[in-house]
Amino acid sequence: MAGDKIIHKKEINVSMAAATDEALFVPVIHNADELTIKGLAKKTNELAGKVRSGKLSGDDMKNGTFTINNTVHLDRYYPNQLLMRHRQPFCQ
């Protein structure tokens, strides 16, 4: 939503948090709405592998429309926050 207007996105690009010992990365599963559960799992594993191997590119982190994360261990800071919409782009 923007004010009192609903914004309809043309693409559903889901960002996911992926951490290493050095940093937190937020790769994007583009057109996630067009993938099956198996396809989502495959893409998640592919992107996590890129993060672990250091082969994640800037393009892998562009154009997310929503972010999914697991903040259960931070519940006193972010209670029940699993899905967040992006307010501003991370990469230009």
Q: Considering the domain boundaries, does residue 92 fall inside one?
A: no
Q: Considering the domain boundaries, does residue 40 fall inside one?
A: yes
Residue 21 confidence (pLDDT)? 86
Burial class from Cβ neighbours inside 10 Å (0-12, 13-18, 19+) for residue 40 reads middle
Q: Considering the domain boundaries, does residue 4 fall inside one?
A: no
Q: Considering the domain boundaries, does residue 70 fall inside one?
A: yes
* Domain span at 56: 14-85
Q: Considering the domain boundaries, does residue 8 fall inside one?
A: no
pLDDT tens, residue by residue, 20-74: 888 889 999 999 999 999 999 999 999 999 999 999 999 999 998 887 766 555 5
Question: Given CA atoms 34, 37, 39, 44 in this order, what sign does their dihedral have?
Answer: positive
Total domains in the fold of the chain: 1
